[in-house]
Amino acid sequence: MIQIENISMSYGKLVVLSNINLSIEKGQIYCLLGKNGVGKTTLINLILDLIKPSEGTIKILGFKSNMLDKSMKKKLGAVNDSLALIEELTGYEFLYFVGKIYGLPTDTLKKRIFDIFSYFFEDESDLYKNISKYSTGMKKKLAFCSSVIHTPEILILDEPFSGLDPLVADQMICFINKYQNKDRVILMSSHDLSYVEKVATHIAVLDKKKIIFNSTLQDFTENGEKKIDSALLKFLRPNNSAIEKFDWI
């Protein structure tokens, strides 16, 4: 579904990613983990063809990501760091606009708008408010709703849980697990490890411009012997003895 081949990305002399290779197949929920600034968002933006790689190729459904036609692009849904909302519109108007871009029939679209909005929002009146009046969490929820309303085969989410309260994050976890099936793939980045553990089938860890781990969640946690945060720290901070020098604390 997503094939990343020898991808490198530089901004001038600053190398962000170096020789990244990753294959993401149907039925998988792949989570990118790593420290802030390590290149997770950059990699997602490369996959979405929002920026061009310095080297390498990315294929979506067997086609180069920069050569997808309209029919192929309709099979993708995404929430990136910009959210890409039109804040002059109401929530309803925005979801209707997005649904029509993807060619959904009116009756189908209206049902999906009310179904998904009533799931994520407590007050139906919010549907008719301008997005500019939404809180950060409400905007994140609306962006997620717009990314799945056309039921894409490939769903790409950059930090989907940030800015959400625990109740809404749990709703999103339930939705993601319900949404995933053998014919779909979900790729996400997240710092919220307790949530990642509830949805991920596979983990890739980015560090120092490279992928340093790439396998199943079971392998990552050693079949559940390690908690996911301990497993991540083993890769990112294998030796914590440096704290011993702080004799003043």
- Identify the pLDDT of residue 240: 60
The answer on pLDDT for 243 being more than 80 is no
The answer on pLDDT for 241 being more than 90 is no
- Identify the pLDDT of residue 59: 96
Six-digit token string for 10: 């530089």
- Identify the pLDDT of residue 237: 74
Q: The pTM is what? A: 0.91
The answer on pLDDT for 233 being more than 90 is no
- Identify the pLDDT of residue 239: 64
Supply the mean pLDDT for the chain: 93
The residue assigned the tokens 């061009």 is 52
The answer on pLDDT for 155 being more than 70 is yes
Q: If you average pLDDT over residues 141-156, what whole number do you get?
A: 97
Q: Hey, where are the domains in the chain? A: 1-69+154-160+182-239, 76-151
- Topology of domain 1-69+154-160+182-239, per CATH? Rossmann fold (3.40.50)
Alpha helix locations (H) across 66-225? 70-73, 91-101, 106-120, 136-148, 166-179, 193-199, 217-220
Distance CA 9, CA 14 (A): 9
- Identify the pLDDT of residue 246: 77
Q: If you average pLDDT over residues 228-232, what whole number do you get?
A: 90
The answer on pLDDT for 100 being more than 90 is yes
What one-letter code names the amino acid at 8? S
